[in-house]
Structure 1
Amino acid sequence: MVFMPYLVAIIMIVNIALAFTIIFLERKDAQSTWAWLMVLLFIPIAGFILYLIFGRNISKQRIFTWDTKSRLGVKKSVEAQLTALEENRFVFKNPAIVAYKDLYFLHLRNDDAIFTQDNHVEIFTDGKEKFTALIDDIEKATDHIHLLYYIIRYDQLGKRIADCLVKKAKAGVEVRVLYDDMGSRRLSRKFVKRIRRAGGQVEAFFPSKIPKVNFKLNYRNHRKLAIIDGQIGYIGGFNIGDEYLGKAKKFGYWRDTHLRVTGDAVKNMQTRFILDWNQASRNDILYDKRYYAAEPNGDVGIQIVSSGPDSDWEQIKNGYIKMILSAKHYVYIQTPYFIPDESLRDALRIAALSGVNVRIMIPNKPDHPFVYWATLSYIGDLLNAGAEVFIYQHGFLHAKMIIVDGEISSVGTANIDVRSFRLNFEVNAFLYDTGIAEKLVAAFEYDISLSTQMTKKLYEKRSLGIRFKESLSRLLSPIL
């Protein structure tokens, strides 16, 4: 007991030092700073450990360098397109999308997101249809198969895909599978061993160096990409697992949005995969034209936009804000988590208050309770501004989609929350095409028929228990 005062003093000194680090060195935003200071104040020892695991900033670690992008031909293409846009020499195949020049200029300058105009896009909102198409494309592959998923499970769907990959690897097709070490923490080693024994390669993103301990726990690769023979690309919200086919009792039907892309945008999806693969594997993929075999196949304009904690900018969030502020008629959003920061909330409030029809759809059940209650708290802000909110009732809504004025849209892996904008590695397709936007609007409107509307009157009838959960979750939302 004699040493207790000294122990308390040491803990206080460590807490003060850590608080100093958070405020002056990490340069986090104010909300996140205050949230971490509260954690350190109320649970000093555990808070220190939690900060080491969840709170460290990796934005200054350049994981995907210009040198790598230069070898893949990205640097030259970006600079050429930027110059053409700045000098008004860029030729737009669809005159209607010239109005959004500032949006794709933003992505090009902010994320090296090359704008392509010759793509064909197929939309999937059902997991069975998406995986039927993906497996069919895998079975037809003749050169290479590249898969990147946040979650891979070795269940019925996972085994079926593994069977296809093993078969193709034995036939001489290059097979590479990249999964997130935390998202796929329950992945059976049988999946990995089977593919490797067949001649394929499997790697984990940010794996644990110490068993059961991962100091990059908070920075995960949430991307979902599949590239077949460099000609076909998949991007969207579906992971690999039976629940994404609607077989999980907890969630029921799984409503998501995924795209199958052919055309030059596949080259940019391939680049994203190669960058992620080279970060995770010692066996780097070097440039080879067969990885970039995509040919023009339509007239849909696309930019593949990535974001992650290694960047100083929140590329996808900035794209969302730019889209919202450009809206003249409506903004439709589907997201499983709605925890916008102040800048995105302001954009949505301004849009709603200025007469733009802002519609937001969220699920009726949580897969992460704290996030769900925080979502409900932020919904109230938008209701007060005149936005319409719909609660999807036909299972679990996992789609990450935004549509503006039936002209531009975005589908990908990024949720409307702090984790997606600042902590996770994400990738979205920003689409400049009225036909695609109209199809996404039709899907959204069909989902409204399967939803209930959360009115301001209903929202105000929440019980004290729900209000308390919302307030606590909202307080912690910057670090959830």
Structure 2
Amino acid sequence: MKFLLYLCGLLLLIIIWLGVDFHLGRKKHLVLGSKVETGILHGHFEIFTHGKDFFKHYFQELRQATVHVHVLYYIVRDDDLGREFFTILKEKAQEGVEVRLLLDRLGSMEIKPCIVKELREAGIHFAFSNRIKLPYLFYSSQVRNHRKLTIIDGKIGFLGGFNIGKEYIDGEPKLSPWRDYQLKITGESINFLQSEFLLDWHEYGGENLHNRPAYFPKLPKGGVRHQFTPTEAGQLEENFIRLIQMAERAILIGTPYFIPSAPIFAELLEARRRGVAITIIVPFTADHFLVQEASYRYLRTLIQAGARVYQYKNGFYHAKTILVDDKLCDIGTANFDMRSLFLNKEINCYIYDPDFIERVRAVINRDLLDSELLTMAALTKPNLLRAAKERLAGAISIFL
């Protein structure tokens, strides 16, 4: 009996510590986070939606680098694709190209010290971002650098949903084919992407490199109007609310995880009340425990309000996009969930060019053809296991 009391007491202390740690860590993060948003920039854009096509092109561009390669990823796996990626970077470093590689500490936990040692011995400047650290161990373990960003020679940028691992090139049968949206960008805005990478590198790599002119060449303007919005510590919530409020006719949201905050959800319902059509695309197959169940209570209410929800059934849908009328398209690294809203470092691109928006809409229309409309009947059919999982998911939704 004594042992049981001690155990219960220990569990209570752990729960209290976790709560205090998270609260104080978040409070500090909110103070440190600074809002950044570019003005309107002009560039050239390409979009990739299939991993094999993207990585063939991406690796080719890496191999052609002549000056520097700066890479930030959330996940790089120790598998065939990850090893090919590391081999290319090592070869470029040995050729004299400056290579800097920044990986999220937990997202890329497969990258062991022996691999890091090999990379550094080849001449690669390597660092882990968002390491777990005192005094807020629990909170810092939850704040991830979810950005996926590459800058090549200060002239070419890549931004989007793909990480590096076999699942992203259809190597995981349950999740294949993998569907994602990735941007290749050229033009004047690459200077901003370079600056964002260097800010993270300064924080985690320990070097302030912003004063190097070679990183910021003079670049021509392109034809696509856009702006970048890096976010952290709750800034994304305000951005998403602003996008929803802009809508006059239609909002389309594509996301692998639909777990909005209460203010965002209220804005979506208000948009429906003023007659805005809402379409949501989510995966039919989940890649993480409880993420689907966490979305169901929101999806039920939206469907009742007249929104249309589609489940993508041709593999796994990992794209992150928002379309507002015909005037704005958002593509980036942020999911439509509370982890991206409040815990992750993210970066999104708002595109205002009508022609490129139509290209994205054509991609989405193809994805809708591979999707099935989700009905209230499917969401309200009695299911005790699902109900239990929904309750659990609701309690921990910020961590999903």
TM-score (norm 2): 0.92
* 2:16 counterpart of 1:48: yes
In the other structure, the counterpart of 1:167 is 91
8 A Cα contact 1:340 1:418, kept in partner: yes
Partner residue of 1:362 out of 260, 269, 282: 282
In the other structure, the counterpart of 2:397 is 477
In the other structure, the counterpart of 1:348 is 268
* 2:266 counterpart of 1:298: no
Partner residue of 1:438 out of 352, 355, 358: 358
Mapped partners of 1:8, 1:138: distance in 2 = 54
In the other structure, the counterpart of 1:261 is 185
Mapped partners of 1:175, 1:285: distance in 2 = 13
Cα offsets for 1:214-269 (capped at 9, x unmatched): 76211111110000011111111100111111111231211111100011221111
Cα offsets for 1:32-56 (capped at 9, x unmatched): xxxxxxxxxxx51331354366554
Mapped partners of 1:392, 1:328: distance in 2 = 26
Larger Rg: 1
8 A Cα contact 1:377 1:471, kept in partner: no
Change (3 A) 1:334 1:198: same
Mapped partners of 1:224, 1:168: distance in 2 = 20
Change (3 A) 1:238 1:4: closer
* 2:120 counterpart of 1:200: no
8 A Cα contact 1:126 1:245, kept in partner: yes
Cα offsets for 1:164-212 (capped at 9, x unmatched): 11111011110000000000111244442232112111100122469xx
Greater strand share, structure number: 2
Change (3 A) 1:322 1:170: same
- For residue 330 of structure 2, give the secondary structure of its aligned residue in structure 1: strand
* 2:72 counterpart of 1:148: yes
In the other structure, the counterpart of 2:148 is 224
Mapped partners of 1:266, 1:179: distance in 2 = 20
Change (3 A) 1:201 1:8: closer
Gaps of 5+ in 2: none
Mapped partners of 2:333, 2:72: distance in 1 = 12
- For residue 111 of structure 1, give the secondary structure of its aligned residue in structure 2: coil
- How far the C-alpha of 1:373 sits from its partner, in A, is 0.7
- For residue 452 of structure 1, give the secondary structure of its aligned residue in structure 2: strand
- For residue 145 of structure 1, give the secondary structure of its aligned residue in structure 2: strand
8 A Cα contact 2:170 2:176, kept in partner: yes
- For residue 142 of structure 2, give the secondary structure of its aligned residue in structure 1: coil
Partner residue of 2:250 out of 318, 327, 330: 330
In the other structure, the counterpart of 2:377 is 457
- For residue 259 of structure 2, give the secondary structure of its aligned residue in structure 1: coil
Cα offsets for 1:10-50 (capped at 9, x unmatched): x59xxxxxxxxxxxxxxxxxxxxxxxxxxxxxx51331354
Mapped partners of 1:206, 1:379: distance in 2 = 32
Mapped partners of 1:232, 1:244: distance in 2 = 22
* 2:331 counterpart of 1:411: yes
Structure 1 residues 10-409: aligned runs within 5 Å: 43-51=11-19, 56-61=24-29, 111-208=35-132, 216-293=140-217, 295-309=219-233, 314-409=234-329
8 A Cα contact 2:48 2:181, kept in partner: yes
Mapped partners of 1:273, 1:2: distance in 2 = 54
The residue type paired with residue 225 of structure 1 is: L
- For residue 216 of structure 1, give the secondary structure of its aligned residue in structure 2: helix
Cα offsets for 1:272-324 (capped at 9, x unmatched): 10011111012332322221125124221222111112xxxx33222222111
Q: CA RMSD in A?
A: 2.5
Change (3 A) 1:3 1:239: closer
The more displaced of 137-146 and 286-295 is 286-295
8 A Cα contact 1:224 1:235, kept in partner: yes
- How far the C-alpha of 1:478 sits from its partner, in A, is 3.7
Gaps of 5+ in 1: 13-42, 66-109
- How far the C-alpha of 1:456 sits from its partner, in A, is 2.5
Mapped partners of 2:170, 2:82: distance in 1 = 14
The residue type paired with residue 46 of structure 1 is: I
The more displaced of 294-303 and 337-346 is 294-303
- For residue 125 of structure 1, give the secondary structure of its aligned residue in structure 2: strand
8 A Cα contact 2:174 2:315, kept in partner: no
- For residue 175 of structure 1, give the secondary structure of its aligned residue in structure 2: strand
- For residue 234 of structure 1, give the secondary structure of its aligned residue in structure 2: strand
Cα offsets for 1:99-121 (capped at 9, x unmatched): xxxxxxxxxxx833222332011
Change (3 A) 1:132 1:385: same
8 A Cα contact 1:54 1:217, kept in partner: no
- How far the C-alpha of 1:161 sits from its partner, in A, is 1.3
8 A Cα contact 1:153 1:188, kept in partner: no
Mapped partners of 1:172, 1:62: distance in 2 = 40
Change (3 A) 1:377 1:369: farther
- How far the C-alpha of 1:59 sits from its partner, in A, is 4.5
Mapped partners of 2:16, 2:86: distance in 1 = 41
- How far the C-alpha of 1:458 sits from its partner, in A, is 3.1
Mapped partners of 1:153, 1:294: distance in 2 = 35
The more displaced of 314-323 and 233-242 is 314-323
In the other structure, the counterpart of 2:344 is 424
- For residue 113 of structure 1, give the secondary structure of its aligned residue in structure 2: coil
Mapped partners of 1:179, 1:317: distance in 2 = 25
- How far the C-alpha of 1:148 sits from its partner, in A, is 0.2
TM-score (norm 1): 0.77
Cα offsets for 1:427-465 (capped at 9, x unmatched): 111111111211111111111111110022332325233
The residue type paired with residue 383 of structure 2 is: S
- For residue 251 of structure 2, give the secondary structure of its aligned residue in structure 1: strand
